[in-house]
Structure 1
């Protein structure tokens, strides 16, 4: 039986699967200066310790995704991206909540993430989902102009 979660905008969330890598790479490149390749996503999709949650419509057109890494009793949000056409519709929130629910079935008890300190929309999402800033990493994210942005390290208990 496939896991499904409801999402806004007529979408649902389901586990990622082989064959999704090109769409994930395309959406990721729309949101990040250094997008990840389809090959990198292929590797993640093949690894049970890196579940991918896909927000898609009934025809499986992908609107966004979240990629998690599970290691012992910790989970890390490696990346989350939403197609620009679907931003502002609470898709990111639905992806996070699906991951939280699914992680209850794992040993993970805390989730960590890094986010650029100037990514206001993402920080608002994470704070709204119970994450708190625990540290900073100066020069963590490269920028197109050669500068480097500081990352906030955030953490949330999973219960």
Structure 2
């Protein structure tokens, strides 16, 4: 059995076309290429996940004092369900902890049942709701606010 190489590399301009294209495939209301550029310029932790040298996911992590906030975390459709989301969450937690964070937050659509299940599995807990947070096909959708203590 071969060992799969998993690498988390800081996102570069060379990743942006792929990342933005993946976001368009994954979400009805995706981030734009400019959203990712703005995150990089702001100094947020922007990561590309490579699996055996191939891009397979990406994430954006914002640090504020002793808190981390996952702004975007995504695994390309072909690699979902293979454990990469959990590996990415572990990586983001390690980065946040090393930067002095004591907790990590995220928002997720209540309709994203797979993501909710993953977040709960790795120790995130629901701490609130943001009414009408996300654009939706028929108006707005709430966000479930989740926290994981590091």
TM-score by length of 2: 0.89
Residues 49 and 56, structure 2, Cα contact 8 Å, conserved in 1: yes
Provide the aligned C-alpha RMSD in A: 1.7
For 1:43, the equivalent position in structure 2 comes to 38
The correspondence for 1:90, drawn from 71, 83, 87, is 83
Aligned counterpart, 1:24 = 19
CA contact (8 A) 1:18 1:46 kept: no
State the match for 1:33 in structure 2. Answer: 28
Gaps of 5+ in 1: 1-7
- Maintained 8 Å contact 1:140/1:151: yes
- 1:1-159 map, 5 Å: 10-48=5-43, 50-59=44-53, 61-144=54-137, 146-158=138-150
SS at match of 2:111: coil
Larger relative strand fraction: 2
Between the two proteins, the alignment pairs up a number of residues equal to 148
Displacement of 1:33: 1.5
Higher helix share: 2
Runs of 4+ in 1 over 3 A off after TM superposition: 8-11
Contact (CA 8 Å) 2:68, 2:101: kept in 1 or not? yes
Q: Is the 2:70–2:105 Cα contact (8 Å) retained in structure 1? A: yes
Gaps of 5+ in 2: none
Cα distance in structure 2, aligned partners of 1:87 and 1:25: 17
Contact preservation (8 Å) 1:53, 1:95? no
TM-score scaled to structure 1, two decimals? 0.84
In 1, the alpha carbon distance for the partners of 2:40 and 2:28 equals 22
